[in-house]
Amino acid sequence: MNRAISVSVSALLFAACATAEPPPQLPFGLSSGDVATGFIMAVESCTQAAETGRTIGQLSSYRIIPDTTRGAARAPKPGSKAWAPSLGMGVVEIEEGPGECDVSAYGAVVENTLNVVAAGLREKGYALQPAQPAPPKSFFHDLTTKTANGRTVKVILMGNEPSGAAGASPFSTLMAHVMVAAP
């Protein structure tokens, strides 16, 4: 009797696994963890540039490099420069323009990744601003700090877990917007 139950349970598990959709594959052999790490590095670089009044190119970081993989369809807006973290290139994109820096990515676990970024910013003195409740599977953080040189830096983090709706992206999306208000 136990053997029959064991075989039946095994058959049900096999059937469930055979019909379950595998998670979508990220390009370039990247894992969800690689994308999360690249996103975190990108936001750190954007905030460091904003806090110090420099550009990402002036930071001399080997972790953030010019993004040469973008085609014309994803070219940065005029006056902006395309960057990418060395880990996550092709999935994590940075667009740096005068007084602002945008980071976008897909495929990482949203809530955990944004919480790591927000915690790191709070350790540096950023204050979490009150926010409206986010819709299901959506996450939002609004953080602001005043630097030693009087610059106000604001970071908005947002993201969505993948949607199961037909036609929707099977990937999560993460975004960060870093902006500077002059002293």
120 vs 9, more confident: 120
Poorest-pLDDT segment among 1-10, 134-143, 148-157: 1-10
CA pair distance 33, 55, nearest whole angstrom: 27
| 129 occurs within a structural domain | yes
**Closest CA relative to residue 147, chosen from 61, 47, 58:** 47
CA pair distance 130, 119, nearest whole angstrom: 15
- What is the DSSP code string of 85-145? ESSSBTTBEEEEETTEEEEEEESS-HHHHHHHHHHHHHHTTPEEPP-PPPPTTEEEEEEEE
Tell me the C-alpha to C-alpha distance, in Å, between residue 58 and each of 14, 62, 63, 103, 153. Answer: 55, 11, 13, 18, 18
Residue 172: pLDDT above 80?
yes
Q: Report yes or no: 85 and 92 within 8 Å, Cβ to Cβ.
A: yes
Tell me the C-alpha to C-alpha distance, in Å, between residue 18 and each of 11, 15, 74. Answer: 10, 5, 37
Q: What is the structure's pLDDT at 21?
A: 47
| 146 occurs within a structural domain | yes
| 140 occurs within a structural domain | yes
Q: What is the structure's pLDDT at 105?
A: 95
Q: Structural domain of residue 56, as residue ranges?
A: 29-181
pLDDT digits (tens, 9 = 90+) for 74-128: 888 889 999 999 999 989 999 999 999 999 999 999 999 999 999 999 999 999 8
**Closest CA relative to residue 153, chosen from 52, 13, 70, 8:** 52
Residue 166: pLDDT above 70?
no
Paired tokens of 147: 């630097």
| 20 occurs within a structural domain | no
Q: What is the structure's pLDDT at 132?
A: 78
| 174 occurs within a structural domain | yes
Q: Count how many domains the chain has.
A: 1
Poorest-pLDDT segment among 7-21, 65-79, 95-109, 150-164: 7-21
Q: What is the structure's pLDDT at 16?
A: 35
What is the maximal distance between C-alpha atoms in the chain? 78
| 15 occurs within a structural domain | no
Per-residue pLDDT, averaged over 129-137, amounts to: 80
| 108 occurs within a structural domain | yes
Q: What is the structure's pLDDT at 119?
A: 95
Q: What is the structure's pLDDT at 130?
A: 84
| 21 occurs within a structural domain | no
Residue 64: pLDDT above 60?
yes
pLDDT digits (tens, 9 = 90+) for 21-63: 445 678 788 999 999 999 999 999 999 999 999 999 999 888 9
